[in-house]
């Protein structure tokens, strides 16, 4: 069992190209339950979620983001938008986003983050979805079946580096700069 769980954690990759296939309702329910049980600071659970499946809305959100980092919203069959209760919730938002991604992976689905940055894109996305001004909207988790080979290694026509840094490049022992454990 630990091997399976560790493999799920280790193999999680962002997907930015999706097959035109709906996400099953059972998988969506599981994503929502995982979101519900995600830990948060002082158990505040400072989030609400907006599920978007409508292609026109997904396309409008992709345009609202006005960046390569949101274009994959247009082809995702599902986006889970994270609406946070206010400022100071970034850590909990990150935990929530990755938990949703892991739940998607457990179902054989791919996922990726789309971020809204800057007043214009955030305001446009907020207006499209009717999010109140006192709430924070900056992250969408796109979910769906990955497109054919290469779905996780390219975005906007550019290749991304594959593989991971060796542990020796980023692990320090007891003191920064000490590489021997």
Burial of residue 92 (number of CB atoms within 10 Å: 0-12, 13-18, 19+): buried
The pLDDT value recorded for residue 180 is 83
Alpha-carbon gap, residue 178 to 181, rounded angstroms: 8
Q: How far from 168 is each of 92, 100, 161, CA to CA, in Å?
A: 29, 30, 18
pLDDT at 156 over 60: no
Burial of residue 26 (number of CB atoms within 10 Å: 0-12, 13-18, 19+): exposed
Alpha-carbon gap, residue 59 to 52, rounded angstroms: 11
Report the candidate in 79, 115, 101 with the shortest Cα–Cα distance to residue 152. 101
The pLDDT value recorded for residue 164 is 80
Alpha-carbon gap, residue 72 to 126, rounded angstroms: 18
More confident residue, 156 or 59: 59
Pairing of strands 154-155, 158-159: antiparallel
pLDDT at 17 over 60: yes
pLDDT at 48 over 50: yes
pTM score: 0.87
What is the phi/psi pair of residue 129, to 5°? -105, -5
Among the residue ranges 33-47, 57-71, 97-111, the one predicted with the least confidence is: 57-71
Over range 114-125, report the average pLDDT: 93
Alpha-carbon gap, residue 108 to 65, rounded angstroms: 27
pLDDT at 153 over 50: no
> What mean pLDDT is reported for the chain?
91
pLDDT band at residue 161 under the 50/70/90 scheme: low
What is the set of domains in the chain, with CATH numbers?
2-148 (3.40.109.10)
Q: Render pLDDT for 136-145 as a digit per residue (tens, 0 to 9).
A: 999 999 999 9
């Amino acid at each position: 069992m630990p091997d399976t769980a560790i493999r799920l954690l280790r193999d999680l990759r962002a997907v930015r190209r999706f097959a035109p296939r709906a996400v099953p309702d059972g998988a969506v329910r599981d994503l929502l339950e995982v979101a519900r049980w995600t830990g948060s600071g002082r158990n505040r659970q400072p989030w609400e979620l907006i599920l978007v499946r409508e292609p026109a809305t997904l396309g409008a959100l992709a345009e609202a983001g006005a960046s390569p980092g949101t274009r994959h919203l247009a082809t995702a069959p599902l986006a889970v938008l994270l609406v946070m209760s206010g400022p100071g919730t970034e850590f909990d938002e990150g935990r929530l986003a990755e938990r949703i991604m892991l739940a998607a992976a457990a179902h054989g689905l791919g996922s990726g983050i789309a971020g809204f940055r800057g007043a214009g894109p955030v305001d446009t996305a907020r207006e499209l979805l009717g999010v109140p001004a006192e709430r924070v909207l900056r992250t969408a988790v796109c979910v769906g079946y990955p497109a054919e080979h290469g779905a996780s290694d390219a975005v906007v026509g550019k290749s991304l580096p594959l593989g991971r840094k060796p542990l020796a490049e980023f692990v320090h022992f007891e003191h920064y700069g000490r590489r021997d454990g």
